[in-house]
Structures are given as structure tokens and as C-alpha cells.
Amino acid sequence: MKPDMPLPVLEASSIVKRFGGAVAVDDVSIAVSAGEIHAVVGENGAGKSTLMRVLAGILTADQGTVKVGGELLEGGAKGSLEAGIALVHQELSLIPEMTVAENIMLGSTPTSYGFIRTRQLKAAAAEALDEIGVSVDLNESVARLSVALRQFVEIARAVARKPRVLILDEPTATLTPAETDHLLAMLQRLANRGMAIIYISHRIPEVFTICTTITVLRDGKVVDSTPLVETTPSAVIDKMVGRELSLDLSSRRVATPGALVLSARGIRAHNVNGVDLDVRSGEIIGLGGLVGAGRTELVRAIVGADPRYGGTVTLWVDGHPRNITSYQPAVRAGIGYVPEERRTDGLALTMSVSDNIALPNRRELSSAGVILAGKTARFASNLADAVGLRPPVITRDVGEYSGGNQQKVVIAKWLGRKPRFIVLDEPTRGVDVGAKAEIHRIVRELADNGAAVLVVSSDLPELLELSDVIHVVRDGRITGTLSAADANEKSVMSLASGENLVGA
Amino acid sequence: MKLGTEQSGLLGRVRNLAARRTEGRGLILLALVIIVVAILEPTAFTAYSVTLGRVALIGLVALGLTAVILMGELDLSVASTLAVSGVIMASIPDLGLGIVVALAAGILIGIVNAVFVVYVGINSFIATLGMLFALRGLAFVISDEKPVRLSNIDAGIAFGAPLIGPVTPRVLIFIVAFIALQVFLTRVRAGREFYAVGGNRQAAFDAGIPVRRRIFTGFMISGFVAALAGVINTLERTAADPTAGSSVLLASFAAAIIGGVVLTGGRGSVVGTLIGALSLGILQVALTLSGVQTDIQDIFIGSILLIAVITDPTQLRAAAASVRSFFQRREKAQIPT
Ligand SMILES: Nc1ncnc2c1ncn2[C@@H]1O[C@H](COP(=O)(O)OP(=O)(O)OP(=O)(O)O)[C@@H](O)[C@H]1O
Ligand SMILES: [Mg+2]
């Protein structure tokens, strides 16, 4: 079956990593050979990122060893880098104020006598960008790049190190389908040249396009590790969740739009050039488009989180119009906003889950200005259950939860307010399949209970599945509107890119 | 397929530059100060040697401080370091040895600060606040609470004299320190990595940057520069005053902040700090020349500092939005319902 398997480049044996009492990685062994693309999948909190941080030397394992090319790894992050392991983190880890070139070469800046060799720095950075087929101004500061470009800059940084093992932790979460395809093709190219790649993703179809081997983690343990040809997507999903997932993903809601809840007129803001938008009670409006089309800017301007240059937003509260001008009053009037950048905008990472959930609901949870502890705990744990937080320990700091679980906390926080109008920007980015279905169910339920819902998503299947109406945004304008019946991947993409992919 | 940004035109490039640089506000403020002073108190410019000396006094400590602030840390002990190093220097009879020991003391203080911050894990505000008190006490103990006269007074007098034109050794040292730090922070890898440590410490660590060593270097620079300022002060005044530098701490922080150095780290430059020091120095000299008392001068400096912070573009945007919403609410309230 496997004639002469090459010796593994990376070999981790019996890795154990605990956080306090909890075991995040439990006796995991994994081996990756040159030219192999090895998928690691699992639910949110399964321990994928923790395992990768151990491999990259950022965390020290409590037990077990990591070998690269037969040599034992030591010396922390630096030692691993030198041994040829490069990790692209799940969270963006660039220095916003530095240029693209400096970020790509961060930690391996070429010098002579301590002085930076600028020309060589730029040449090496340009080479790395070239290798991954992306063109960005080398002198641009990273703070001014789109999220997708930042992701590619990070990948360029890993590639610039000419690693033997390249680890990517959910690299496609922020990418559009076209960008994803580009990335996958690039990884295949690198693997063909003999690089060993570990690839983490919640998007099972991606995994089946490029990977050669798949390891499934559940609760910190390896539950399966096989060549990809010997398994199927549904078998993988079953192993991930440890039960048969009985979700009807194609169930479409029958929308019954009611009264107008929110109407935005002539919205202009940074990257937004005049948008009219109405959302009715019981209706889910989807905003489609490419990353950088101005959707996030649009919704931020609508809820008042960013200043508007022009336009008005009216929220109908029990039949009365209210002008929405800034964020705080908007929230008080019943607007909910789940932001795209949850780590910076949506959560207080050093506060507990229950404090985070209680944050926008302080009024309801306090009496005479004092927060009622018991009521808060009940309130928070009900909501944590509703979104399927794992583990459902509401006293733990949010920062200790895995990326996908953090997203659930943000959503739980706003659910508690029973908003009249709620905006969800990329609600399931980085969320595992089970939790994604769960979040979709919650969003539908919100609409069924009369809320007006606006969803921004770059995940086309998700957008198509959730929305009653899809507005496609390009260059800060709505360039087309599709009803649920007319919308499909092609029609949305052609409006989003401005190219006629459908007819012609 | 190629992904990426399109190269923007000249206008876009100018806009990019403006967005990237942090000195803009400081520069505008400096221009305003220069214009106002030129109209109201032009003697501040004719007496440029005084003004330059003042700028160098405020600016030197601020330069060292900038290195620490860029990493998102604070060093409140600079003023006490200045005092203690001056006293140490004056207490040693041999001038050369005194200077060397004083400067070494500055570096040592930096190391102690860094040990507290890096290894003990104390917040740098608190660690250096402790050092502020401890060192001030030490300066009083060594000096027996009296100014210590320099044994070699001639050297001090010679030091105060201008070298070329208005450039006294103090000004020259300031210029050299400025250039050295500017080169270090923009051209030397270790210095450039200060920005990474301040901008995103976890990311810097993950990329293999020796974060702890960088923090040590920063505090050592700050301690050394503060000691250097102490040495210069002692030479110029031919005596070391244990209470010296009490106004230096606030002025040097003000200079850095006016120059656009962000206290949380990662943003700013020594060019900005220089601009801040120039604004403050010119303003102070002009006010002194027009007979304004030092207490009143402080009110001016405070106002300038607040203006500099308030006019931060992000702050401005937030302020504009809240003003707008205030008026829109007003408008609405007038509509009868
Ligand atoms: N710094 C930390 N302190 C305490 N617990 C942690 C810490 N980091 C991770 N954990 C816990 O370890 C477990 C594994 O987390 P990890 O981030 O590896 O999950 P993951 O598989 O990457 O999930 P996701 O798909 O959501 O990114 C989780 O239960 C998480 O709460
Ligand atoms: Mg993860």
C-alpha cells in the first residue's frame, strides 16, 4: 500500500499539554513527511492550535517530544524556527506599524554588523511574495492592508523562512473563494517541491481538494489518522463530533417579512459610496461581495460604530422612528452588532465569559446599580448553552477559549439583548461545522421571532443558505439584489466581481 | 492569478506617507509655536543659544525615554537617575573617573529597572515609580542633602563655553545622541525591533525576536541617556544638586507625547520627540523672556500637551462624531411628535 514512505520530516510523539487542570492536548503523536499536505481537523477547542504552538516551540509540552529530521527540538520559538518549522497563526500576528517588507522578514532581518540591509530585506520579501503569487507594495504599512492581504503577508513571512515544515492554522477563514483557490494551488506547488505542510481548516471540502493525509482531533486526542483516499467527508465529520450529525443543512426558512425595522438612506462613509438599505422584521438580508468591497465599513456606519460622512439611519421602535447617529444610543435602542474582528472589537479577553455576556445587559441584570451575581450567572449559562459553548464554564476567561468558542461568546452576548435589529459580520468565521449549523439555527430563530437581521458573509454557501434577500456590494455600492430563489454562487460572484460570469 | 493592491498614484502615496508618519501633529504644533513666538516674542530666536540649550536640556532625556516608550513600557525613574548620577560624579574627585562611574550607574539603573519588569514581572509604571523614590532618596543620602560642588570647577566652566557658534558641548551631545538613536531605531535591526516589541509583543516573540533582551536594551539606553544629562548638568553648573531634574520628568514625557510617540508602544519616532522638544523649548524660552512666571508656563505646556493629544486623528474623528450626534439629537428633540 505505502511502498517506500519517506522518513518523516516532523515527528511528534505522545505530546501532552495541560492548561491548569484541563488537558488541551492529550497524548498526541503525529508525523509529516516531505511533500505531504497533512490536514488536522477537529471541533472548536479540540486542541489543534495548541498542538501547533507546541510544534512551533511557542508552548512547551508537559510531556512528549518533537523531532525534526531526526533531531530533538529545543530552544523555544527560536529553536523551532531555526530547525525549519514555520507557523502561520490562527490570529493575525503582524506588527501593524511596520511595512510589509519588514513584517515578512520579522525575526530574520538580514543585517551586516547589526545594521539592516534594506535592499536585501526588500529583495527577500519580494521573493517570498512572488513565491506565493501576491503583489503588495513592500513599503505599505500593514495597518493599511485588508484582512485578506494581511493573511497573505503572514504566509509570505512563513515561506520566506524557507521552512521544511509549514504549518497553517485556519489560513482561509478570512479569504474569498478565489483567494482560497489561489492559496490552495500555491500550497500544492510548495508540497510538490518537497515541503511538508500541516493544514488546519474547518472547511472540509478544502481539505479534500489538497490534502494527502488527515488527522482528526477530538477533546485533545487523535481519533483518526488516515490517508485521505481512505475516508470521506461525512466520515470525517462524524469522527470530529463523535456522533452522527443530524443537521438538515438545506432547510430553508419560509420568510415572512413584517414591518420595516431599519432603513438606511444615502449612507456614505470610508469606502462606502451611497447605500440605501431596508430591513424588515422577520427578514434576513445577506450582504455578499468580495473582501474589501466595503461591507464591513457599511454595517459599521449603519450601527454608528464608525462615523458617517452622510446619510441617515432610522430604526423603528414600536412604530416610532428613531434617528441612529452613534453607537451607544443605537445599542440602547435595540441594535446588536457582532463585529468581524472579535478579538479587538467584540470581547474583553481578560474577563470571564459571564462578564462578557453580561456586558451589554447590565441594566437587566442589576438592581439599583448593583449587578446581581446569581441572575447574571443563570443568564450567562443559559446563553452559553444556547450557542453551544465548549466547555460551558462561564467563569473562565474568554481569552482561554479557542477561536471558534470566542465567536460563540460574542454571539451569546448579543442574543441576550433580544435585539430588534442585529448585524452579524462573518458570524461563523473559524467556527466548526457543528457550531456553524448551531449558529445558523440561532440566526434563523432570531428572525422567526421578529428580529430584522443583516448578515455579512464571505462564505457563499452560508450566505445563500441564510439570506432571504442578498444585496451584493462592490466598491462601496450595492450593485445588485437577488432574491433567495434567484441567488446562486455564480450570480452572486458575477455581481461581486463585476464580471459577467453567467451569460455571454 | 495575481492578488494584491494596485500601486496608487502620487496623491495616494502622499496620503499613505501622511498616514504612516506620526510626527504630523507635532510638526503643525511646532509651526504654530514658531509663528506665534516670532510675532509676539522674536527675541527667543535672536537669543538662539539660550533656546538651543533649553531644547537640549528637555530633549536629551526625552530621547532616551522614547526608546522605552516605543516598546510600550514607561520609565519614570529618569529624573532621579539624572540627579543621582550627577551627585555620584561630583562626589568622585577625579573628573574623568566620576563621569565614567556616573554613566555606568545610569546603565546599571536601567538594568535594575529591566530586571523588575522582565524577570519579576512588575508593571514598568510601578517598577520605575519605585526606582524614582529610591534613587531620589539615594541622591539625598550621598550628597548629604546639599549640592555637591565639582572639585574641578575649571573643567565645568570650559564645558559651558560654546564650541562653534552657539553650539555648546551640551547641544553637540544632544545632536549626537539624536543622530545615534535615530540611526539605531531605523537602521539597526535591534532598534527597529523595538517597534515590533511595542506593536505586538506576542507576534514579536513568536517571530523569534529576543523580546526580553530588547526590553533590557531599551531601559539601559534610557538610564544611560538620563545619566548623561546628569553629567552635563553637573558640568555646566559646576555642582550637582540632589533635587535636580524635578521638572525634567514631566517635560520629557510631554516632548515625546507632543511628538506623536504613543504611550502604548509601537508608534512614534525620535524625530517626533525632537519636534516635541523644540516646541516646548521655544515656548518656554519665549515665555520666560516675556516675563511669564514658571507656574503660568506650566499651564501653557499642559495646554499644548492636551492639544497635541486631542488632535490625534482618531480622537478627532470620535470627537466630531459625538458633537454631530449631540446636535442631531437636539434637532430631533425639536420635532414635535
Ligand atoms: N492560554 C490558555 N489557557 C487556558 N486554556 C487554554 C489556553 N489556550 C487554549 N486553551 C484551551 O485548550 C483547548 C484547546 O484549544 P485550541 O485553541 O487548541 O483549540 P482549537 O482546536 O484550535 O479550536 P478552534 O477551532 O476554535 O481554533 C480549549 O479547551 C481551550 O479552551
Ligand atoms: Mg485554533
Entry field: residues in chain B:
337
Which residue from A78, A96, A116 is facing B208, i.e. has the nearest CB?
A78
pLDDT 10s digits, B170-220: 889 999 999 999 999 999 999 999 999 998 898 898 888 999 999 999 999
Residue nearest to ligand 1 atom 6, measured at CA: A400
Q: Could you give the CA distance from residue A178 to residue A180 in angstroms, rounded to a whole number? A: 5
**What is the distance in A from the centroid of ligand 1 to the CA of A398?**
10
Predicted structure pTM score: 0.78
- Is the CB–ligand 1 distance for residue A42 below 6 Å? yes
Side-chain half-sphere exposure of A302, counting CA atoms within 13 A: 35
**What is the distance in A from the centroid of ligand 1 to the CA of A225?**
21
Q: Does B314 touch chain A (CB under 8 A)?
A: no
Strand order from edge to edge, sheet including A421-425: A335-338, A421-425, A452-456, A284-288, A469-474, A477-483
Could you give the dihedral angle defined by the CA atoms of residues A184, A190, A196 and A202, in that order, rounded to the nearest 10 degrees? -10
Angle between helices B48-69 and B169-187 (to 10 degrees): 30
Chain A residues near residue B20 by CB distance under 8 angstroms: 97, 141, 144
Q: Looking at domain B27-144+164-308, which of 2.60.120, 1.10.3470, 1.10.150, 2.60.40 is its CATH number?
A: 1.10.3470
Helix (H) or strand (E) holding A168: strand A165-169
Q: Does B43 touch chain A (CB under 8 A)?
A: no
What local confidence, expressed as pLDDT, does residue A488 receive?
Answer: 81
Q: Which stretches within chain B are classed as H helix?
A: 10-20, 24-40, 43-46, 48-69, 78-91, 95-114, 124-143, 153-160, 169-187, 189-199, 201-206, 211-237, 248-258, 270-289, 294-310, 313-334
Into which CATH architecture does domain A258-334+419-432+440-504 fall? 3-Layer(aba) Sandwich (3.40)
Side-chain half-sphere exposure of B8, counting CA atoms within 13 A: 12
The reply to whether CATH 3.40.50.300 applies to domain A8-241 is yes
**Nearest C-alpha in A relative to B326:** A325
| Domain positions in chain B | 27-144+164-308
Q: Does A81 touch chain B (CB under 8 A)?
A: yes
Q: Which three cell numbers stand for residue B79?
A: 529624573
pLDDT 10s digits, B6-23: 445 666 667 666 666 778
The one-letter amino acid code at A97 reads E
The larger pLDDT score, comparing residue A291 to residue B125, is at B125
Going from the first residue of chain A to its last (504 residues), give the mean pLDDT of each consecutive group of 10, the final group possibly shorter: 66 91 89 94 89 93 91 85 91 88 92 92 94 89 84 94 93 83 93 94 89 92 90 85 56 75 91 91 90 86 88 89 88 87 72 84 76 84 84 85 83 85 88 81 88 90 89 90 84 74 40
Q: Could you give the CA distance from residue A330 to residue A312 in angstroms, rounded to a whole number? A: 13
Closest-approaching ligand to the CA atom of A51: 1
Pocket perturbation via mutation, ligand 1, pick of A16, A17, A19 by most ligand atoms within 8 A of CB: A19
Is the confidence metric ipTM above 0.90 for this complex? no
**What is the distance in A from the centroid of ligand 1 to the CA of A348?**
17
Q: Which stretches within A193-232 are classed as H helix?
A: 204-210
Pocket perturbation via mutation, ligand 1, pick of A49, A90, A407, A438 by most ligand atoms within 8 A of CB: A49
CB contact under 8 A, B206 and A97: no
Q: Measured from the CA of A50, which atom of ligand 1 is nearest?
A: 18
Ranked by mean pLDDT, the top range of A263-272, A380-389, B60-69, B248-257 is: B60-69
Q: Could you give the CA distance from residue A459 to residue A427 in angstroms, rounded to a whole number? A: 10
Q: Does B19 touch chain A (CB under 8 A)?
A: yes
CB contact under 8 A, A98 and B199: yes
Q: Is A229 exposed, middle or buried (0-12, 13-18, 19+ CB in 10 A)?
A: exposed
What local confidence, expressed as pLDDT, does residue A490 receive?
Answer: 79
What local confidence, expressed as pLDDT, does residue A503 receive?
Answer: 39
Q: Could you give the CA distance from residue A120 to residue B309 in angstroms, rounded to a whole number? A: 38
What local confidence, expressed as pLDDT, does residue B116 receive?
Answer: 95
Q: Which three cell numbers stand for residue B59?
A: 530633549
CB contact under 8 A, B208 and A152: no
Entry field: residues in chain A:
504
Angle (nearest 5°) at CA A154 between A18 and B19:
120
Tell me the DSSP string of A96-129: TTSBHHHHHTTT---EETTEE-HHHHHHHHHHHH
The one-letter amino acid code at A417 reads R
pLDDT 10s digits, B35-52: 998 998 888 888 888 888
Closest-approaching ligand to the CA atom of A44: 1
CB contact under 8 A, B3 and A115: no
What local confidence, expressed as pLDDT, does residue A158 receive?
Answer: 94
Q: Does B199 touch chain A (CB under 8 A)?
A: yes
Partner A, chain B 238-297, Cβ-Cβ below 8 Å: 266-267
Angle (nearest 5°) at CA B171 between B169 and B175:
115
Q: Which three cell numbers stand for residue A201?
A: 481548516
| Residue A429 near residue A174, CB atoms below 8 Å | yes
Pocket perturbation via mutation, ligand 1, pick of A59, A215, A402 by most ligand atoms within 8 A of CB: A402
Angle between helices A233-241 and A433-448 (to 10 degrees): 80
What local confidence, expressed as pLDDT, does residue B330 receive?
Answer: 47
**Nearest C-alpha in B relative to A57:** B206
Partner B, chain A 38-57, Cβ-Cβ below 8 Å: 56
The larger pLDDT score, comparing residue B264 to residue B15, is at B264
Q: Is B144 exposed, middle or buried (0-12, 13-18, 19+ CB in 10 A)?
A: exposed
What local confidence, expressed as pLDDT, does residue A244 receive?
Answer: 55
Helix (H) or strand (E) holding A493: helix A489-497
- Is the CB–ligand 1 distance for residue A346 below 6 Å? no
**What is the distance in A from the centroid of ligand 2 to the CA of A55?**
14
The larger pLDDT score, comparing residue B211 to residue B150, is at B211
Closest-approaching ligand to the CA atom of A432: 1
Q: What percent of chain B has pLDDT over 90?
A: 43
| Domain positions in chain A | 8-241, 258-334+419-432+440-504, 348-418
**Other CB atoms within 10 Å distance of the CB of residue A303:** 23
Compute the nearest-CA separation of B259 from chain A (Å).
Answer: 16
CB contact under 8 A, B5 and A106: no
- Let me know if the fold of A8-241 is the same as that of A258-334+419-432+440-504: yes
CB contact under 8 A, A133 and B199: no
Compute the nearest-CA separation of B288 from chain A (Å).
Answer: 39
Q: Which three cell numbers stand for residue B317?
A: 474623528
Strand order from edge to edge, sheet including A320-323: A272-280, A260-269, A310-317, A320-323
Which residue from A56, A96, A136 is facing B199, i.e. has the nearest CB?
A96
Residue nearest to ligand 1 atom 31, measured at CA: A401
Q: Could you give the CA distance from residue A269 to residue A272 in angstroms, rounded to a whole number? A: 5
The C-alpha cell 420568510 sits at A255
Q: Is A372 exposed, middle or buried (0-12, 13-18, 19+ CB in 10 A)?
A: middle
- Is the CB–ligand 1 distance for residue A24 below 6 Å? yes
